[in-house]
Structure 1
Amino acid sequence: MNKAITEGLQLMPPPFADGLGVWSSGDGTPGSDTYDGAANAAFVPADADFAGCLEMQKTSGTQQLRYMGQTPLQAGCYLQIKARVKAISGNLPTVRMAAWAGASGGTHVTGLTEFGASVTLTNYGEVVEVTAIVGAGQRGGVDMVWGTAPTYAHVGLDLTGPSGGVVRIDDLEVVDITSAFLRDMMSMVDVRDFGAIGDGITDDTAAFQAANAAADGRTVLVPAGTYLLSGGMTFTEKVQFEGRVTMPQAAIFSLTKNFDLPNYIEAFGNEQLAFEKAFQALFNNSDHESLDLGGRRITISEPIDLQAIVPNITSFAQRRHILNGQFQVTGDTAWESDVVTSYATYSASNSRTLTAVGNIANIEPGARVTGNGVGREIYVQSVNLATQEITLSKPLYDAEGTQVFTFTRHKYVLDFSGFTKLTRFVMTNIEIICSAVGSGVLLPPSGLIFHMKDCWINRPRDKGITSHGTGCQGMLIDRCNFISDEGQSLAQDRIGIVVNANANDVKLRNNRATQFRHFAVLGGSNSTIIGNHFFHGDTATAGLRTAGILITTSYCSTTITGNYVDNCSIEWSNEHSATPDFTTGFSFAAMNITDNVFLCDNVAPWFGFISIKPFGTGHFIGGLSVTGNKFRALESNIDQVDVVDTTFAPLDMTRGKDVIFEGNTFHRINVPSYNPLVLEHDQNTAASTWVVETGGQLPFGGRARVCSSVVATSRLRTGANVTRWATPYVDLEQGSSGDQLHLNWEEPLYGDVTVKVSMT
């Protein structure tokens, strides 16, 4: 690069032959004395070595020579000032090139070095070349490092040493030698050329900004060094890092043209810090929609509070996406759960609030709540210190009054809980290796459509994905793998939960989870659970099993289709209700369980694949479809596939409607279940009342409440073997359990009939 050529800059001072009126004996500024008519200076038109030159006698301690014209300086441009000098007579002086640093308005930029290396003349008549380089950057060979404040110079030289000697000076030259410093001028702009120091102390923000502005499509080079940036920096051009950047936590560092984690790692030298700065930029620049981790592993020693990284933002509603990388947990004490016990008061009339909470300052949002009458996966959504109140993620089913609650705050690799609301956040191809030390992801307290796809959460200590509020509304989890650290534990002893949700419209699709306590605890409605495989088995003989899917809302409007339910159950409860006794509504309704594979082995015979657990009295089934499923037990039979957990209350089987249990297959199930149920009854002796047993085949111990047909399949005969064409009337809900039918005939008959009976 040569600015004199490319931009027509006038760098060269005029020759001495043009007159000495523009050559100052001072600093070169307007009004300073010149050598025109001076007694100690004259122009020599002919010299053996110089075509024309200035002859000067040294008469002062530092004899100055400065061109009074302004030689322009541009950031990124390096100028060499050069003169050829020879001693003629008298004392031999020392020569150095020099310049005066000027800024706009003719002001002097002080505090700068304004001369180059000194050269002592040793022989008369010997031509000596003296040079110095002036420029913005602190580079090897630059004599006068001026930064970007000066915009012009008065160039010249100084004679120092003994006075009295006479020298001759050839015309001064000023040339652009920037190309000597830049490795590839067509593609690189070096921040040092714009005044960056890189000592970790000097603020290099202005130099970075100037280099970026000058790049104009080229790459900005940050060479070796440590560069302090006191404020934010947005690069609109590509950047290549050899050195490192340091800056305050709140300052934003944005790489708009090469925005990915590897470049941030190059810039900051630390993986976790690099991720934090990149995440900060992701939320603070509209040019960034996705953060590509570049396949890099980020080793983290403590939970990442993602909102603390972007303290200027508490709510965000634009789509943001991180992808293609791995987080690996190290450390120990930083990941220990914080446990607080405290008295608090609960009232069902204010069903999601704890009041008069003691020790509330130590209770954090996101803490899991346990205590008497507290359902599974209840969390602190928010804390109000002023009123000593806690807002809960869900109501408590039986906690009226004052009691001691325990609040356990697990530690998460990615903690979004500091945001008040976060909408449309996506994670793709991310692996979180929790190392049995930390948990995976804590969602924000509110928001929409958190989406995790093609991700792995490996060996979480307690939780995979936790919702402590409604940040799970519309959550999508697709094609993810969840691997437990509790594979050697018995199923009933495990604590790990893959995901919980409190809000509606959750989609769990094509995921795989192994050996957790629960795969999903869902407290909302309208959930879709499709194509997942969740395995919760262990090595025990006649072992216990836990729920793979736990639905905690009675009217759930949920579809469970095409899953592989492996050594676990689907449990349906109403534990997230402040008034668990049935009063009005649909009770347990709107559940569709279709085309799943159910498999178990080495389980207790009373295990059931589908369990309903009422937490209050008066409940019934108001809508359930179980169709097209394959139920199979290995090693030993189980009694039946459907059970009612009566720990708190039974179901009211005298009522209910819309229960369909058909098209399923049963292998090693002692009593298969059907509704409607088709029975073949063989009456061997003549009787006017035939007792038809359903044999427990109506689901959930259902009662024989409907008979839709009775068809004779053999000749109906009297005791005297006389054929009768007869029709009975039916008594429903007979027997102690109401699961029998009585067929009543006009006279005693015997024969065979097929009966179609239903529990609803």
Structure 2
Amino acid sequence: MTLATFTPAPYAAGLTAYSNGDGTSGSSSYATSGNGVFVPADQDFGGALEILKTDATQQLRYKGQTPIIPGSYLQVKARVKALSGNLPSVRIAAYAATSGGGAVSGVVTQGTLVPLTSYGEVVEVSAIIGIGNRDGVDMIWGATAAYGHFGIDLVGQNGGVVRVDDIEINDASHLFLGDMVATVDVRDYGALGDGVADDTAAFEAANMAANGRTVLIPQGVFRLNGDVTFDTPTKFEGTVTMPTEAILLLRRNFDFPNYMEAFGNEELAFKKAFQALLNNSDHESLDLGGRKIALTAPIDLQAAVPNRTRYETRRAIHNGQLIALAGGDWDTTTITAQATYSSSDSRTLKNVANIANIEIGSHVSGTGVGREIYVRDKNVARGELTLNGPLYDAEGTQNFTFRRYKYMLDFSGFDVIAKFVLHNIEFQCQEYCSGIMLAGAGTIFTVRDCFITTPKDRGITSMGGGCQGMFVERCQFLSSENDLPVSQRTSIALNVNANDVKLRNCCSERFRHFAVLSGQNHLIFGNHFFQGDSVNGGIRSAGVVLAEAYASCVFTNNYVDNATFEWTNERDPNPAFNGGFSFSSMDITSNIFLSGEVATSFSYILIKPYGAGHFINGLNVAGNRFRSINGYVDRVERVDTSFADLNFTRMRNIRFTGNSFHGVSKPVTNPYILETEQNSNEQTWVIETGAGLPFEGRSLSVDAVIVRGGVRNAGNALNYDNPFVRAQQGPNADQVHVVWSEPVRGKIAVTTRMDNDVV
């Protein structure tokens, strides 16, 4: 129905269509009431209805059903003049009907009263009616109104006679909508914006009617108790409130700035935008629009999306900054509780006291606990905590300390998050909190081109398997512990528990450790991490820690600045060698290793066995540049024997070649070629390998003996016999014996090895 059809039939068509009641079906009409007649030729009106006022409120209603259309506004006009008798007041009045014909309750159905002050004076009254709560609307009927019966009321003393011109009903929408083609206002569809009434239906109706036009949410607070989707652009001047589980999806302008406009609070807006991201197939990423989002507490991301505990479709958040504010809820929760550990159930703590208060994601410390052990799950009923890795020497019952660090973005509530990307975001932790906590499980989590600045405790934490196949690329990790000596630092840039991580082209500055990596098959490429301090002759901590003996790891093209590459088996619940590959499958190539003002005992490559019997089985150290400035170091490599030494009789497949050494007292290589000259005739030449083999290893095998210029016997004749060799000689097994057929003298070159590469 068009607006042109809203104007009622003229009185000349008959008075049956006009009620002297409320206008509903069955109400009496002026055709039979006896107090109204049609006057065909009034000098002011032409045809007019003449009424004798007999009721305190004399009603006139058009009995036709004039539709109330969402988005449209009606202006009702009537011209009236008094002829004789008492002078009444007049107003526009109506009956507001639902689609079933019942009266809409609680709405205004009368306009402003206008007194008639003289006879024959034409007075015009009008009122505007519509669904929306707009300034200038006299009768706001809300979304339940379907139609109305419109007319006038005569109010005052009875006995007066008045004439009423034909009633007009006109479209007044243009008075409120401005450019109606461009904008749809949610108030036009019944939204109240009082913060109490549920405006969900009005928002949905506005979206349906928009047809590509912008939906305006004007000043006010609009309560939405259910999900709302906009398929059209939106403009928020007011804000919305929603239950946690309700979703607001802005399909046409899905970005953080628009959610900020919608909710008016940065933290809430981020949560609702993230919720929409995980409940939306139209957008793969949330653009933060370059905005800075101030946080007063960790963002529990799963709590923001209560309908999901796992998500495995690619999604990304990018282009913005998160900043932690002072005075927020950032304090570490620390609990000390007794628990029992058994290496036979190597990832479980049992009989845990006070378990209900220990949070998932808590860092675990105690006797025999390695680095970066976290609570992955808990079973309160059974009193058991599941850990992200085994403990190396914690058998029995003891007190453990559980510290739950606070993270700006915390995914730990999810069982699985996979294929998620954080890109071009700065995490300004401000020394109040940590950066990112990963979910319990998931593959291919990616952090790319991000800054994690001054975290209090951790940059990126994996409490379980959410780091499987993770990419960390082109990120900057800037420590909050710059001014502390290395020995006092505790913060760690990131840790890994699962396999196949790609850690590439990152920069890390002055953490206790850059990365603590468990699992296998990691690619560590092109990173620069520096961890020095101003202490002359000071200690240096590990930059990268590998926490499992079988590594299958490539470490190449990195710049290791005042830090150690440390290889351990601290995630082994039975750390003494009991079969398997031991310290195996490691490639350390083409790196820059630099140190300055360090103790002479400092080494760039450190192997630390946590139990006896281990050996190296596959190690390639090639093409690296080792340099110490402002003081020499003894060696570039060593074994930390705090728990045990290596078994040097079982070394296999070790290549330590093509490296350069500057400021290093004892360069090493394997194979190791050394020349020796025997000036007196001896049948057995004893050759000391000294410190030339890596890790001060044994001369386990000999590849070659090359004679330089010939050897001569006591008669000064050349001896052409091939000597045989005995390796692993002497009290330290670091001698090679070259045995001739007779006593001879001369010069030879011996190629000896610390390993045995014979299969």
TM > 0.5 between the two?
yes
Which residue of structure 1 aligns with residue 225 of structure 2? 230
2:12 aligned with 1:4: no
Inter-partner Cα distance in structure 1 for 2:372 and 2:108: 69
1:420-477 superposed Cα distances (whole Å, 9 cap, x missing partner) = 1111111001111111110111111111111100011000011111111111111110
For 1:608, what is the secondary structure of its paired residue?
Answer: coil
Residue 334 (structure 2) pairs with residue 339 (structure 1):
yes
Confirm or deny that 1:151 pairs with 2:146. Answer: yes
SS in 2 for 1:334: coil
The counterpart of 2:365, out of the listed 346, 364, 370, is 370
Q: Where does residue 123 of structure 2 map in the other structure?
A: 128
Within the candidate set 65, 90, 95, 1:95 is matched to 90
What is aligned with 2:486? Answer: 491
* Mapped pair 1:82 → 2:80: no
Structure 2 counterpart SS, 1:716: strand
What runs of 5+ residues in structure 2 fail to find an aligned partner?
A: none
Which AA in structure 2 matches 1:110? Answer: S
Distance, in Å, in 2 between the alignment partners of 1:103 and 1:311 is 37
Give the partner amino acid of 2:522. S
Post-superposition shift, 1:322? Answer: 0.8
SS in 1 for 2:16: coil
CA contact (8 A) 1:101 1:152 kept: yes
Measure, in 1, the Cα distance between the counterparts of 2:680 and 2:488: 54
Distance apart, 1:330 and its partner CA: 1.4
Q: For residues 177-576 of structure 1, what are the structure 2 equivalents within 5 Å? A: 177-332=172-327, 334-576=329-571
Q: Does 1:670 align with 2:665?
A: yes
Q: Deviations over 1:458-501 (max 9, x none)?
A: 00011111111111111110100000011111112110101111
* TM-aligned CA deviation for residue 727 of structure 1: 2.1
> Structure 2 matches for 1:29-40, cutoff 5 A?
29-40=24-35
TM-score norm. by structure 2 comes to 0.98
- Partner amino acid, structure 1, of 2:506: N
8 Å CA contact retained: 1:306, 1:416: yes
Superposition TM-score, scaled by structure 1 size? 0.98
Deviations 1:297-355 (A, max 9, x none): 11111111111111221122122211111111113462121111111111111111111
The correspondence for 1:614, drawn from 609, 619, 622, is 609
Secondary structure in 2 matching 1:714:
strand
Q: What one-letter code is carried by the residue in structure 2 that aligns with 1:4?
A: T
2:292/2:321 contact within 8 Å kept: yes
Q: Which amino acid aligns with 1:65?
A: L
User: Residue type matched to 1:290 in 2?
Assistant: S
- State the alpha-carbon separation in 1 of the partners of residues 341 and 600 from structure 2: 39
Structure 1 residue 39: deviation in Å?
A: 3.0
Q: Deviations over 1:666-688 (max 9, x none)?
A: 11111111111111212222222
Residue 34 of structure 1: how far off its partner (Å): 0.9
- Partner in structure 2 of residue 724 of structure 1: 719
**SS state at 2:5 partner:** coil
What code does the residue aligned with 2:21 have?
G
Q: Which moved more, 1:303-312 or 1:581-590?
A: 303-312
SS of 2:617's partner is coil
1:698 paired residue among 693, 696, 710: 693
**SS state at 1:358 partner:** coil
Q: Deviations over 1:165-188 (max 9, x none)?
A: 111111111001101101221111
Q: Among residues 57, 60, 64, which one is paired with 2:59 in the alignment?
A: 64
Residue 625 of structure 2 corresponds to 630
Q: Is the 8 A contact 2:217 2:237 kept in 1?
A: yes
Alignment of 1:168-183 (within 5 A): 168-183=163-178
* Secondary structure in 2 matching 1:262: helix
Separation of aligned partners in 2, 1:573 and 1:105: 78
The one-letter code matched in structure 1 to 2:55 is: S
Distance in 2, matches of 1:333 and 1:247, equals: 24
Residue-by-residue CA offset, 1:269-299 (whole Å, 9 max, x unaligned):
1111110111111122222321111111111
8 A Cα contact 2:213 2:232, kept in partner: yes
What's the offset of the Cα at 1:693? 2.0
Distance in 1, Cα, partners of 2:403 & 2:126: 72
- For residues 29 and 338 of structure 1, what CA distance do their matches in structure 2 show? 68
- Encode CA deviations 1:122-153: one digit per residue, 9 max, x unaligned: 12211111111110112122111101211111
| 3-state SS, counterpart of residue 79 of structure 1 | strand
Q: Is the 8 A contact 1:4 1:176 kept in 2?
A: no
One-letter code aligned to 1:368: H
1:525 is matched by which residue type in structure 2? Q
Report the equivalent of 2:754. 759
Partners of 1:190 and 1:623 in 2: how far apart?
Answer: 71
Deviation at 1:656, TM superposition (A): 1.8
Deviation of 1:722 after TM superposition, in Å, equals 3.0
Distance in 1, matches of 2:73 and 2:328, equals: 54
| Secondary structure of the corresponding residue to residue 397 of structure 1 | coil
Three-state SS of the structure 2 residue aligned to 1:221 is: strand
SS in 1 for 2:121: coil
Query: Aligned match of 1:109 in 92, 99, 104?
Result: 104
AA at the equivalent of 1:220 = V
Partner amino acid for 2:540? R
CA distance in 1, matches of 2:105, 2:624: 86
Q: Look up the equivalent residue of 1:170 and give its one-letter code.
A: D
Superposition deviation, residue 720 in structure 1: 4.6
Distance in 2 of aligned mates of 1:298 and 1:641: 46
CA distance in 2, matches of 1:647, 1:637: 24
Provide the C-alpha distance between the structure 2 equivalents of 1:40 and 1:705, rounded to a whole number of angstroms. 127
What does residue 582 of structure 2 align with? 587
- Of 696, 703, 728, which aligns to 1:733? 728
Q: Displacement, 1:724? A: 2.7
